[in-house]
Structure formats: structure tokens, C-alpha cells
């Protein structure tokens, strides 16, 4: 019999009282019980699903707001400093979770595996305070609701020093279904895709404050026998080093916004990935993905304009990505609105930052264009009778990388949790390293080509399992992915470092155990999504429909994930979930010839020329990689030569760049020639110019 599960601190709110109960997690459903014992986002999922089962048939029954922390946070793993916030999302009516850094993860981990909050209190300016012993009370902080979210954070930080904070803004007060949540940092970090900020408003709260633990149980560091997982190890990753130098604004063009301030990251992280921009109106935390959602889609040309819009979203407590998509839809299709004044106001949105800011201000009171925007992009698209680039409630970007396109459309947790997917499954620059990552699943010919559908279903299934397991541990997904992509650690090593104890005891402690945990979590998530009416390819955007139906895409994903034609887990998948056999649901892989890799290698050998001669290749790169390489970098060597040989020659010519170029003879950057991506064994000719990119996508 398994031992007691993680402690769940349940807070029940009533009109004039707060009741707190503490009990170990358990469930009569074996898979739900196992997943709930694994901590972090896995525990949060199991708690929400358990509540959904108990309230089956009551579609309007509110789900609890769950805040959970993984074992990696409790054990003090470097970069494991995040809490998972989860519930049924107001925007999509399906499960949603988000990760937030700061003090919340360590404070919650020292108290319990998870805190759940239900019910509702009556009044204004109310804060739920959880003390160091796990007790809870309601405190009034007069005037909070009159402030924007930035000012609220400052007032709360002064009132509750050293407390972890989770606060909503005016959008959460107004129950806007894409309201976000902010932590106690200055400037704050935000989470809550799907409108989890509105849930805090539904509870009658403006904020949650968790006191610092008395005698914290959080360790300083942890590692298995052999190499320990310490901050210095993370610095061996070229991708993490580049991310630390360039934040999340790395790009192929090398464009970097002007005048950034200090870098910003999770507590104790040696490679902080965000930037803080100091402006006259205050400090702004910004990441590339949020800025990109507000620039071209709204016709804005300047980074400073997008930063102003992002700042207003932060002040109101609105999810900037959802707001950007809704505004873009209104700007493009506003001529479909019934009223002439609204049509004119919608036309004015494109390229006019003042008009965009004014529309955002109207969202909270649902006036003017705000009445059209306040229900989110999907509802707006339905009202305008247009197709929106959405799947499962999240924005989908049209792109040539078919694996990323499929992942955005079918991921059980939306597109955001697959933010590390692009470089793990698409930008790993060598087929051999990609094959080692997904082993024992074989790679079909062409799987390494982002534009080919071959093998993309299994790559998405692999990445989804990997991400689910890493998030359950509380370890940073970017750190985990970079350690693998750069060859600093193997999947087996990573598993020994971060696997939760419950998974270790049941599944083992190698890479297959880590993936089996993630696959089991994903199947439980899929069941919950289907119960909420969101199967795997619901509401796919029109531009993605034909691509998803190509062999190797959705069909292969369902086969490797164990789903039927509706996207529901099969009985066979349910039977093996929670075991290592969950990785074998695809059965015999009839699409892969075991000799494929040998045939590809033989073909390359056959076309290799016999004679070589001295020649010159020029390497181009932007950002931190360009700086360390002193790009453009001419490389002289005997040509033709493989890409791996060219980068090795460059490493000899620029010793300071070696750790950014090759590891164990395998290229680290993605290399393109005339926009065509090269593999490590591909031949480079005299006079070629190669563009190198070394970046972690997302953030």
C-alpha cells in the first residue's frame, strides 16, 4: 500500500467565516490517486478532476482555485521556484494551469503539497491570509479596489512583508474571463491564462497572501550520486547562457529593444530570462512572446508602443496575449459590427496606440468597444462570424514548423506549456541527438525536417509527456529542455534529479520513468478536457485543418497518445496509464524502416566527393552568439566538409565560442544556408554563408 499522499490544505470561505482543513491526498480512482501523489501541477490536476467527478452533472459547479508546489521546490533544486495555479478556466470552461515564480512556490511547499480555496466572502478589499502554521483569516486592506494592479501589489507588499502574494486587478474584480494574476515581485510576474484572475474575484478576494514559513523545510540544493544538479551545471548549457545574456528577446534578426534594465528571473536562477525596462511611468517586466502578440497584430511599429500596451494590460490585470488577439480581430473585422460608431472605433485601433489603450480601459466596465472585447477572442470571433486562429481556447500561430503547429492544436494544456517544444523537437540541430531524445521510439525518415509531417505526432506526444513531468516536479522547463538539447545531461540523468518520489517508487528513475509519468498525467488531463467538451482537435483553425490531417500528424499523435477518433483516451490507454507500458500504446510502428538511419547515412556517404580543397565559409550570427563568435566569422578549412567539421574548425579559431558551437562533436546552434536548415552531417561548400541561431524559444 502506498504511504500518505501530499498534504492538502483546504480553505472554505463563507460570508463571515473561514474554515481550514488539512488532510493527505487520496482518491479511489487509481490513476487519479497516483497522479495526485506526484506533486505540483500533477497534484493540482488531480484535485480539480476529483472535484469535477464529484460534481458531475452540475455544469455550473465552481471548481476550486488550487495552488500547488512540486517536490523540486521543496528540495531546493536550482531553478525550481515556481508554483502551479490551476482551476477550471472562465475563458474556456476547461482546465487551465499556469506557473508563477517568486515566493509562492517555496512558501506553499513548506506548508503543504497544495492549497485549495472554495466558497465566497462578502465585502470589498479583502485578502485571504494563510499563516505559517497553515491557519487562514480574512483581512481588509481599505482602498485596494480603487487601485490598479501595480499599485495594489505595492500596497500589499507593504502590508504583508515577506509574504508570497497572488493578486488580481480591476479586470479580476469585474470577472473579465481573461483576467490575470500577479505575484509580489517588483515588477510583478503574471500568470493565469484562461482567466484564473477572474476566479479570485469570484471568491470575493483581491489577493492571497502566504506567510513565510517558520523554519523552512526547503533545502539548499539536491543531486543524485555522481554529478549534482547545481547552478554551475546550468551554466554549461550554451542555450541557457545565451538566454541569460539576451533574455527572451533572442531573434533570428538580432533585433533587441533599446535600453533594457536589469534581467529578471526566478529566485536563485543563474540564467534569468526576462528583462526589466525602466521607463518614466515605472518598471515593466516584458517577454518577447507578449510583445509579439501586441506589435504586428495591432499594426504597431515601435517596441515602445507595444510596451505601453503591455503595461496597461498589467495595470488592469488582463492577459496581454488574449487581449492582443481580441483587439486584432476587432481591428480587422470591426466592419461587421452593427453600430457605425463602433465600426469607426474599431478601424482606428490599427496602428494607433492611444486608441488601443482606450479600448483596454473600456474592457473592465464593458463600455464602448470593451463590451465587444470583454468576453475574449473566441466569443468575439463567434459574434463577428469570422474564423479565429484559436484551438482549445488558445491562439495558434501559422507556421511552417509542422510539429509546433500540431502541438499548439492538440496540447492538453494549451499552447503555452509547450513553449520549450520548438527547440527540443524542431531546433535540435542534429538528427542523432533528436533520435536519442525520443528513444526508444524510432524516428521515421524526414522527422528532423520541420516542414515534413513525418513523425510529428510522436514528437508532439514526447514533448507533451516531457513537459507534464517537468512541470509536476516544479523544475524550470527551459532549464530542463536546454540541458537535454545541448547535451549537458541525458534524459536518464535529468530523471534521477527531478522525479517525484511517488513516480520513482512506481515507475523507476530513468528517462522512461519520467516520460511515463508525463504520459500518465496527460491521459488524466485528456479525460478532464473531454469531460469539459474539449477533445484533441476541437475548434482547430481553418488554416491548420489540412495540415493536421496529413499522415504523421494528428493520426500519429492519437496513436502514440492512445486516443480514439474522437480524441478520448481508449480503454487500453486507461489500463496502462500509471505504468511504463503507457509509452508503448502505439504498438508496432509500421511507418518506420529500422534501416532508415543507416540508409540516410549511406546516401550522404554516396554523394560525398572524393577530393577536397582549401576553402572559406562565413558564419553569421546575431545576439550573444554573434558577440562571442565575433560574427561574421570567416572559417578556412578543407572543403566540402560537414557542418559539424565547419563548427569544430570555428571553435578552434574562436576558442571562447567553443561551448556555444559544438559538444561531443555535435553542433549546438541551428544552421541555415539560404534559409534551408542543415544537419550535422550535411556538406558545406566553399563560399557558403551560414546563419547560426542559438536560442530558447518562448517565455
Regarding whether 620 and 577 lie in a shared domain, the answer is: no
CATH assignment at residue 664? 3.10.20.30
CATH assignment at residue 341? 1.10.569.10
pTM reported for the whole predicted model: 0.89
Regarding whether 562 and 483 lie in a shared domain, the answer is: yes
The pLDDT value given to residue 534: 66
pLDDT in tens, 292-324: 888 888 999 888 899 899 999 999 999 999 999
Asked if the structure places residue 409 within a domain, the reply is yes
Q: What percentage of the chain reaches a pLDDT higher than 90?
A: 54
* Mean pLDDT for the stretch of residues 160-176: 96
Asked if the structure places residue 215 within a domain, the reply is no
Regarding whether 293 and 367 lie in a shared domain, the answer is: yes
Mean per-residue pLDDT over the chain, rounded:
85
Instruction: Out of 144-148, 204-208, 386-390, pick the least confident.
Output: 386-390
Asked if the structure places residue 164 within a domain, the reply is yes
Give burial (CB, 10 Å; 0-12/13-18/19+) of 557: buried
* Contact of 481 with 240, CB cutoff 8 Å: no
Asked if the structure places residue 438 within a domain, the reply is yes
Domain with 161 in it:
7-210
Regarding whether 640 and 571 lie in a shared domain, the answer is: no
| pLDDT tier, 188 (very low <50, low <70, confident <90, very high otherwise) | confident
Regarding whether 301 and 159 lie in a shared domain, the answer is: no
Asked if the structure places residue 17 within a domain, the reply is yes
Per the structure, the count of domains in the chain is: 4
Regarding whether 185 and 150 lie in a shared domain, the answer is: yes
Regarding whether 12 and 56 lie in a shared domain, the answer is: yes
* Contact of 84 with 97, CB cutoff 8 Å: yes
Q: What is the DSSP string of 179-222?
A: B-EE-SSSSPPEE-TTTHHHHHHHTT-SEEEEPPPSS----S-B
418 compared with 624, residue with greater pLDDT:
624
The pLDDT value given to residue 596: 42
Q: Please tell me the distance from the alpha carbon of residue 549 to that of residue 13, in angstroms, as a whole number.
A: 47
Which residue, 386, 417, 434, sits at the end of a domain?
386
514 compared with 304, residue with greater pLDDT:
514
Regarding whether 113 and 66 lie in a shared domain, the answer is: yes
Parallel, antiparallel, or unpaired: how do β-strands 613-621 and 689-693 relate? parallel
* Residue 406 CB partners (closer than 8 Å, separation 6+): 456, 457, 460, 547, 548, 553, 554, 557
Regarding whether 450 and 496 lie in a shared domain, the answer is: yes
Which residue, 336, 358, 386, sits at the end of a domain?
386
CATH assignment at residue 20? 3.60.9.10
Give 3-state DSSP helix, strand, coil % of the chain, rounded to 5: 45, 15, 40
Regarding whether 144 and 35 lie in a shared domain, the answer is: yes
Q: Dihedrals φ, ψ of 543, to 5°?
A: -70, -20
* Mean pLDDT for the stretch of residues 158-166: 96
Regarding whether 604 and 548 lie in a shared domain, the answer is: no
pLDDT in tens, 370-393: 999 999 998 999 999 998 887 777
Which residue, 594, 609, 630, sits at the end of a domain?
594
How many CB atoms neighbour CB 86 within 10 A?
30
Asked if the structure places residue 223 within a domain, the reply is no
CATH assignment at residue 503? 1.10.599
pLDDT in tens, 393-436: 777 777 778 888 888 888 877 666 565 554 455 556 567 778 88
The pLDDT value given to residue 226: 47
The pLDDT value given to residue 537: 56
| pLDDT tier, 600 (very low <50, low <70, confident <90, very high otherwise) | very low
Regarding whether 310 and 356 lie in a shared domain, the answer is: yes
Asked if the structure places residue 225 within a domain, the reply is no
Asked if the structure places residue 217 within a domain, the reply is no
Amino acid at each position: 500500500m502506498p504511504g500518505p499522499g501530499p498534504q492538502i490544505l483546504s480553505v472554505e470561505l463563507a460570508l463571515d467565516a473561514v474554515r481550514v482543513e488539512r488532510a493527505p491526498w487520496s482518491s479511489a480512482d487509481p490513476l487519479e490517486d497516483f497522479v495526485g501523489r506526484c506533486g505540483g501541477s500533477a497534484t493540482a490536476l488531480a484535485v480539480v478532476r476529483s472535484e469535477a467527478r464529484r460534481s458531475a452533472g452540475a455544469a455550473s459547479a465552481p471548481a476550486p482555485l488550487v495552488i500547488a508546489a512540486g517536490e523540486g521546490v521543496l528540495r531546493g533544486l536550482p531553478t525550481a521556484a515556481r508554483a502551479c495555479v490551476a482551476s477550471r478556466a472562465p475563458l474556456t470552461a476547461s482546465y487551465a494551469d499556469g506557473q508563477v515564480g517568486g515566493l509562492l512556490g517555496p512558501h506553499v511547499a513548506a506548508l503543504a503539497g497544495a492549497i485549495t480555496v472554495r466558497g465566497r466572502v462578502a465585502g470589498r478589499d479583502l485578502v485571504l491570509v494563510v499563516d505559517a502554521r497553515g491557519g487562514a483569516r480574512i483581512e481588509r486592506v481599505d482602498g485596494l479596489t480603487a487601485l490598479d494592479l501595480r499599485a495594489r501589489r505595492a500596497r500589499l507588499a507593504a502590508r504583508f512583508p515577506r509574504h508570497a502574494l497572488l493578486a488580481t486587478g480591476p479586470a479580476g474584480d469585474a470577472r473579465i474571463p481573461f483576467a490575470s494574476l500577479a505575484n509580489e515581485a517588483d515588477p510583478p510576474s503574471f500568470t493565469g491564462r484562461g482567466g484564473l484572475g477572474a476566479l479570485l474575484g469570484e471568491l470575493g478576494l483581491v489577493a492571497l497572501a502566504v506567510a513565510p514559513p517558520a523554519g523552512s523545510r526547503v533545502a539548499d540544493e539536491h543531486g543524485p550520486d555522481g554529478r549534482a544538479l547545481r547552478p554551475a551545471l546550468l551554466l554549461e548549457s550554451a542555450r541557457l547562457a545565451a538566454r541569460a545574456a539576451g533574455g527572451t528577446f533572442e531573434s533570428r534578426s538580432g533585433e533587441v529593444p533599446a535600453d533594457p534594465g536589469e534581467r529578471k528571473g526566478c529566485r536563485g536562477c543563474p540564467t534569468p530570462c526576462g528583462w526589466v525596462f525602466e521607463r518614466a511611468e515605472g518598471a515593466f517586466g516584458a517577454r518577447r512572446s507578449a510583445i509579439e502578440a501586441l506589435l504586428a497584430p495591432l499594426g504597431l511599429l515601435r517596441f515602445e508602443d507595444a510596451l505601453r500596451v503591455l503595461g496597461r494590460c498589467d495595470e488592469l490585470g488582463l492577459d496581454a496575449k488574449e487581449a492582443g488577439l481580441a483587439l486584432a480581430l476587432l481591428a480587422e473585422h470591426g466592419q461587421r459590427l452593427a453600430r457605425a460608431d463602433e465600426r469607426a472605433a474599431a478601424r482606428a485601433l490599427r496602428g494607433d496606440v492611444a486608441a488601443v489603450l482606450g479600448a483596454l480601459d473600456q474592457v473592465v466596465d464593458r463600455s464602448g468597444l470593451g463590451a465587444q472585447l470583454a468576453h475574449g477572442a473566441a466569443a468575439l470571433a463567434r459574434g463577428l462570424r469570422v474564423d479565429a486562429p484559436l484551438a482549445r481556447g488558445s491562439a495558434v500561430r501559422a507556421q511552417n514548423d509542422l510539429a509546433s503547429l500540431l502541438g499548439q492544436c492538440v496540447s492538453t494544456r494549451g499552447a503555452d506549456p509547450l513553449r520549450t517544444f520548438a527547440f527540443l523537437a524542431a531546433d535540435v540541430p542534429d538528427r542523432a541527438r533528436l533520435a536519442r531524445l525520443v528513444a526508444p521510439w524510432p524516428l521515421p525518415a524526414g522527422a528532423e525536417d520541420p516542414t515534413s509531417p513525418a513523425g510529428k505526432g510522436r514528437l508532439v506526444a514526447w514533448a507533451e509527456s516531457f513537459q507534464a513531468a517537468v512541470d509536476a516536479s516544479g523544475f524550470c522547463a527551459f532549464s530542463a529542455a536546454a540541458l537535454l538539447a545541448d547535451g549537458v545531461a541525458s534524459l536518464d540523468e535529468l530523471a534521477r534529479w527531478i522525479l517525484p518520489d511517488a513516480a520513482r517508487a512506481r515507475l523507476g528513475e530513468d528517462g522512461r520513468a519520467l516520460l511515463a509519468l508525463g504520459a500518465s498525467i496527460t491521459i488524466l488531463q485528456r479525460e478532464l478536457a473531454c469531460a469539459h467538451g474539449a477533445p484533441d482537435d476541437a475548434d482547430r483553425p481553418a488554416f491548420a485543418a489540412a495540415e493536421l490531417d496529413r499522415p504523421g500528424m494528428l493520426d500519429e499523435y492519437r496513436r502514440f497518445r492512445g486516443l480514439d477518433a474522437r480524441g478520448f483516451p481508449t480503454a487500453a490507454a486507461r489500463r496502462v496509464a500509471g505504468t511504463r507500458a503507457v509509452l508503448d500504446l502505439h504498438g508496432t510502428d509500421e511507418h518506420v524502416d529500422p534501416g532508415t538511419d543507416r540508409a540516410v547515412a549511406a546516401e550522404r556517404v554516396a554523394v560525398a566527393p572524393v577530393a577536397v580543397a582549401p576553402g572559406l565559409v562565413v558564419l553569421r550570427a546575431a545576439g550573444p552568439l554573434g558577440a562571442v563568435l565575433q560574427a561574421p566569422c570567416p572559417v578556412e578549412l578543407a572543403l566540402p566538409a560537414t557542418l559539424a567539421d565547419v563548427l569544430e574548425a570555428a571553435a578552434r579559431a574562436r576558442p571562447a565560442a567553443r561551448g556555444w558551437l559544438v559538444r561531443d562533436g555535435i553542433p549546438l546552434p541551428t544552421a541555415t544556408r539560404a534559409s534551408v536548415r542543415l544537419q550535422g552531417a550535411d556538406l558545406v561548400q566553399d563560399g557558403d554563408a551560414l546563419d547560426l541561431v542559438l536560442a530558447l524559444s518562448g517565455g
